[in-house]
Amino acid sequence: MNDFLQTVDWSRAQFALTAVYHWLFVPLTLGLSVMIAIMETRYYRTGDEELKRMTKFWMRIFGINFAIGVATGIILEFEFGTNWSNYSHFVGDIFGAPLAIEGIMAFFMESTFIAVMFFGWDRVSRRFHLAATWLTAIGANLSALWILVANAWMQYPTGCTFNLDTVRNEMTSFGDVLLSPVAVDKFTHTVTSSFALAAVVVVAISAWYLLHGRERLLAKRSIALASVFGLIFSLAAALTGDRSGAVVARYQPMKLAAMEGLYDGERGAGLTVIGLLRCEESRSSNSDAFHFKIEIPKMLSVMSYRDSEAYVAGINDLLAGNPDEGIMSAGEKMRRGREAVAELERFRQARDAGDERTMEEIRRKFDPSTEEGESFLREYFAYFGYGYITSPEELVPDVPLLFYSFRVMVGVGTLMIVLFAIVWWLNRRDRLERRRWLLWIAIMAVPLAYMASQAGWIIAEVGRQPWAIQGMMPVSVAATDIGSASVATTFFIFLALFTLLLAAELRIMFKQIKIGPDKGDDKE
């Protein structure tokens, strides 16, 4: 393997490492901020001091998590420039605009009001403090919106045109980028599932208090709120996840086929509930892909196209093509992509030779306002990224990783719905405290919830491979050509640093939970 390929792999590993650590903090921030705002609203309405005490306690947990999460987020954005400079330039303001809005508006908004939240309890009016708490929650979730819009564009690039002279994509419609089906789906599914995860954490910490016979009122009230909140949003996550399947089927069919281990497309395709995949060398068709599997007949067709007889494309269809179903072969896409890249090469040669006439001729091909340009962009440049693919097999993402990640995510998500419903019911009838086994299960659900949340991102990001931008730019072209030794060294520095930070966060958080609401520090 040459040094540059090693650089690409190390850069991918480094970004994945940073993203995985960052995502340990983000979902709790998103959901807990909203739950705190609800708690404080109830305090504002009733004047019940116990609710104020409860709000302040959860606010402290939120603060610890938020502070460390911010730092990892900054590193992620930093890596776009250091490790993925071609990508960063190529995506231009499409990626830059949402990130800039996130930085300027949402991040500053939440940071400003966080100060009021923590420092302002006895210094601003109750109404202003409540407003600050809600604005912090809204700011945190708006931050997520802009980041997810940028990520969604990588899954489904839309609302843009390519500028040949600056070699970057330019936004033509902010609305198309913001409201693309992938962006809407990604935001709703990520936020609802994050809310559910935060509810699991609140229920678990409260369960720990009940197991130790401490803070019983605070714990029961926290569980009352978190179990309803969790139940609502885990159900919402299931609904948005269902929509997600339909969106992936339409815009990223290879991701769906890999998630399902579906090699041959079929009408009335079944959804595999559980299964054991054979090793890679043995998998070539539906008949030899699994050792065993249990499936729900026709369900994949229903989930993908809301039609039990709809055709769902398999990996083989997407590689070899299937004219009957209107599926273009990977080979044809690669041929068209190479034509587009060849035009770029011709433009470079003309630029180097100072040949303005040829440059102007090629510029017309990239001009969407002309008939020639519109046709070239649709028929050839739309497959630009395929021009860098050397073999159709490169287009298949890691099937086992996607297949099992999907089942972990859905399986744990389903368990969460059941857990929230049981906990809510028993807590409401004041019988939860006696079910110590259930309290332990609630605590053990925390790592499961994080696992499901990470699995969701694995599906989203590994499923997009080999693309940095779907169909437009493979990761091998997106990466910066720096020495692999530098990236490998920094990977291990990050690994050590992030692990230390996680340990520090957990230590501080566990200490605060042990101390409890009263003896904890009021001023964070």
Partner 1 sequence: MPSILVKIWRFYADGFRNMTVGRTLWLIIIVKLIVIFVVLKLLFFPDMLTGSTDAERGAQVLDMLTERNDNSL
Q: State yes or no: residue 524 binds partner 1 (CB under 8 A).
A: yes
Give whichever of 132 and 231 is closer to partner 1, judged by the CB atom: 132
Give whichever of 418 and 504 is closer to partner 1, judged by the CB atom: 504
Q: State yes or no: residue 335 binds partner 1 (CB under 8 A).
A: no
Q: How many residues in the shown chain lie near partner 1 by CB under 8 A? A: 58
Contact 376, 201 (CB under 8 A): no
For residue 43, what are its two tokens?
């305090």
Q: State yes or no: residue 115 binds partner 1 (CB under 8 A).
A: yes
| Minimum distance from residue 494 beta carbon to partner 1 (Å) | 9
Phi, psi of 328 (to 5 degrees): -80, 145
Among 123, 127, 357, 429, binds partner 1 (CB under 8 A): 123
Q: State yes or no: residue 382 binds partner 1 (CB under 8 A).
A: no
CA–CA gap between residue 186 and residue 28 (Å, rounded): 17
Q: State yes or no: residue 353 binds partner 1 (CB under 8 A).
A: no
User: Across the strands, what pairs with 171?
Assistant: 160
Contact 219, 226 (CB under 8 A): no
Q: State yes or no: residue 288 binds partner 1 (CB under 8 A).
A: no
Q: State yes or no: residue 351 binds partner 1 (CB under 8 A).
A: yes
- Phi-psi sector, 506: left (phi>0), alpha (psi -120 to 50), beta: alpha
Give whichever of 132 and 412 is closer to partner 1, judged by the CB atom: 132
Among 323, 390, 437, 519, binds partner 1 (CB under 8 A): 390
Give whichever of 79 and 215 is closer to partner 1, judged by the CB atom: 79
Reported as type and span, the H/E element at residue 468 is strand 467-469
CA–CA gap between residue 263 and residue 288 (Å, rounded): 9
220 CA to centre of own chain: 32
Q: Which range, of 35-43, 97-105, 111-119, 242-250, touches partner 1 by CB under 8 A? A: 111-119
Q: State yes or no: residue 497 binds partner 1 (CB under 8 A).
A: yes
For residue 244, what are its two tokens?
């997600």
For residue 154, what are its two tokens?
């990588």
Q: State yes or no: residue 481 binds partner 1 (CB under 8 A).
A: yes
Q: State yes or no: residue 521 binds partner 1 (CB under 8 A).
A: yes
Residue 137: Cβ-neighbour burial (10 angstroms; 0-12, 13-18, 19+): buried
Name residue 81's amino acid.
Answer: G
Q: State yes or no: residue 205 binds partner 1 (CB under 8 A).
A: no
Give whichever of 131 and 235 is closer to partner 1, judged by the CB atom: 131
Q: State yes or no: residue 508 binds partner 1 (CB under 8 A).
A: yes
Q: Which range, of 112-120, 179-187, 205-213, 437-445, touches partner 1 by CB under 8 A? A: 112-120
Q: Which range, of 129-137, 190-198, 246-254, 347-355, touches partner 1 by CB under 8 A? A: 347-355
Among 3, 5, 172, 325, binds partner 1 (CB under 8 A): 5
Dihedral sign, Cα of residue 79, residue 80, residue 86, residue 87: positive
Q: Interaction with partner 1 in 57-86: which residues (CB under 8 A)?
A: 60, 63-64, 67-68, 70-71, 74-75, 78, 82-83, 85-86
Q: State yes or no: residue 4 binds partner 1 (CB under 8 A).
A: yes
Q: State yes or no: residue 367 binds partner 1 (CB under 8 A).
A: no
DSSP assignment of 79-119 equals HHHHH-HHHHHHHHHHHHHHHHHIIIIIIHHHHHHHHHHHH
For residue 299, what are its two tokens?
């369900």
72: CB partners within 8 A, 6+ apart: 18, 21, 22, 25, 498, 501
- DSSP state letter for 518: H
Contact 124, 116 (CB under 8 A): yes
CA–CA gap between residue 359 and residue 356 (Å, rounded): 5
Q: Which residues bind partner 1 (CB under 8 A)?
A: 2, 4-5, 60, 63-64, 67-68, 70-71, 74-75, 78, 82-83, 85-86, 89-90, 115, 118-120, 123, 165-168, 338, 341-342, 344-345, 347-348, 351, 387-388, 390, 476-477, 480-482, 486-487, 489-490, 493, 497, 501, 504, 508, 512, 520-521, 523-524
